[in-house]
Amino acid sequence: MRVKLSVLEPRWLLVIVFFLAGTFMGAIGIYIYFGSSSSSLIKIHPGSGQYKYINPILAIDTPNKQSIKNNSVALELQGLIDKAKRDGKITHASVYFRDIEPGLWVGINEDAKFSPGKLLKIPIMITYYKLAESDPSILDEKITFRANGVVEEDLLGTPKSLEEGKAYTIDQLIDAMIVDSDDSAANLLFDHVDKDQMNEIFSDLGIDFKETKGTQDYISLKLYSLFFRVLYNSTYLNREYSEKALSVLVRVTSDLSGLGALLPKNVNFANRQGAHQIGDGANKSFEMYDCGIVYYPAHNYLICASATSNNFDSLKDFLAEIGSRVYTEVKYQYR
């Protein structure tokens, strides 16, 4: 039996041609869209380039500001800042918010630099934990506390916990430095560590910052937030010491008077805050800064803020309001 082959009509040939062309163009469009999107990601690598065959990633950023749902967080923050300036409560403010898991963020003057002061206690802690990864016994080394007779004024009224002539392990001093915000413990640890080791942290994060007692450096909120991000993602310290570092930060015993002041008591806030006076007399003003991770259920987020004012109480109230408004907005978005 002979089978008769049918010849396609011209109109069906046209349908097939257009179908294949459409598929081809669609594939190109998808490639361009996703290819360009992925290539726009900024990968943050260690800055020292000590590796020959690998290039570790510390964090990933996007080049443009983003926010959750209709830019509502940005609008809230900008509104608070504008009102506080109009009311004469602050003269300048910077805020950086990041919804950690999706990586969406907003910033207002987030690249403006400030003197970090007490926030440098975190890189001191990270330095010792990095050394402990290869030699855990370093945390058991003891240092004897000798008061130098100089009492530094602390605007936030944090307690002093070290006793004259008593020897403390490095692990205990880290607790005192972070949990009790003890400046004496921070000075002991700073004097004891190899400065090249600590400066290597800044270099690894690509931060042009060399901390010494004789110099005053400046850093932006967005750059400073990297310390929290690498701890949260365990991309600089290993998992054991990243967890240990954040568990110490959560245990801060001093009354929160900044971003965490109005947060619910059952919400953990792993943060550091500080304040200092700028100038004297008629030119006297104050700067306060706070940065950390708020452990909102299933949606942890990073919030950092700094502000200046002629009235210190106004600064505390302003940062507390920032922390409360952001928490309320996140709670609304993920209700």
Q: Judge whether 40 lies within some domain.
A: no
Evaluate whether residue 182 is within a structural domain: yes
Mean pLDDT, to the nearest integer, of 169-192? 92
Establish if 205 belongs to a structural domain. Answer: yes
Residue 37 lies in a domain: no
> Residue 323 belongs to what domain range?
59-333
Inform me whether the pLDDT recorded for 11 exceeds 60: no
Give the number of other CB atoms < 10 A from CB of residue 155: 16
In a domain, 112, yes or no: yes
Distance CA 261, CA 327 (A): 12
Is the pLDDT assigned to residue 194 strictly greater than 50?
Answer: yes
Average pLDDT over residues 17-29: 53
Tally of domains within the chain: 1
44 token code pair: 């943050």
Give 129-180 pLDDT, tens digit per residue. Answer: 999 999 999 999 999 998 765 555 667 765 567 888 999 999 999 999 999 8
Residue 169 lies in a domain: yes
Q: What is the CATH number of the domain that holds 304?
A: 3.40.710.10
Residue among 301, 304, 324 nearest 68 (CA): 301
Compute and round to an integer the Cα radius of gyration of the chain: 26
Flag whether 29 is in a domain: no
CA distance 80 to 64: 22
Please name the amino acid found at residue 57. I
CA distances from 310 to 62, 121, 278, 285 (A): 36, 26, 9, 4
14-18, 174-178, 201-205: least confidently modelled range: 14-18
Which tokens is 95 given? 């805020």
pLDDT tens per residue across span 121-136: 898 999 999 999 999 9
Residue 243 domain-assigned? yes
